[in-house]
Amino acid sequence: MEIWQYIILFLVGIVVGFVNVMAGGGSLLSIPIMLFMGVPGPVANGTNRIAIIAQMATAVVAFFKKGYSDFRLSLSLALAALPGAVAGAYAGTRLEGIWFNRIVAIITLAVMLLMAIKQDEKTYAGTPSEKPRLLLAHILMFFVGLYGGFIQIGIGFLFLPILNRTLGLDLVRVNMHKTFIISFYTTAALIVFAWQVEIFWVLGICLAVGTSIGAWISAHVQVSKGEWIIKVVLNTVLVLIIVKLLFFS
């Protein structure tokens, strides 16, 4: 790898970290760039997890310092996602190519339409108490972990219908929980990838430094600006991703 490639990955990482924490889909930028640099698909998929852990862990700390945390619920949801993430990561080590792009586009479009539906239900500032909702959310987290361990691309959008629509949490708290859950199960996924394929650690760390900076900025912007900035960034990213995957893959 040339020095300029590491610099590009660092700069790209800042954008990826900002977008991932606020909306999602940043891996649609980081993974293709690594593929363009000649990194094999499974290796890029695994190496990308280093940056994901760094940016999400950074955001968790940033949210906590701003007074946003509910580690009990975050941990229980993360544990529900963990088995799926391990299984998905093992399958992801055998993944070649980008044939899954159109599946991601369909998922992204579905989430965008769902989030556009008027929310008539109450949103919670704390932990929701309805047991059926909590049980359903934990069951769905297994499948989120499965997808996240397997591909990770676009995973942030899957948290929206679960945490916002099912649990009724506002978008800032959705991202608060999302960052903890992803950093938790992605650590296990990275171990699986490191066991099965080669990981480009230096490349991943360079990307991780950039994503951490972007994640820190993103978390602070969300807390200070509220839900409206998340909705603007979210819908912009969703439209761009759908157009790219459907027409420019």
Question: Over the stretch 113-123, which tens digit does the pLDDT of each residue have?
Answer: 655 665 555 55
Percent of the chain clearing pLDDT 90 (strictly above): 31
Written as one letter, the residue type at 166 is T
Residue 169 is classified by DSSP as B
CA dist., res. 215 & res. 163, Å (int) = 20
- Average pLDDT for residues 36-46, to the nearest whole number? 82
Please state the pTM of the whole predicted model: 0.79
- 49 neighbors 182 (Cβ within 8 angstroms): no
Angular region, 226: left φ>0, alpha ψ -120 to 50, beta rest: left
**Lookup: tokens for 47:** 């190496």
Residue 40 Cα distances to 47, 103, 107, 199, angstroms: 10, 21, 25, 10
- 105 pLDDT higher than 70: no
At 167, which helix (H) or strand (E)?
Answer: none
pLDDT per residue as tens digits for the range 136-189: 999 999 999 998 998 887 787 788 788 888 888 888 888 899 999 999 999 999
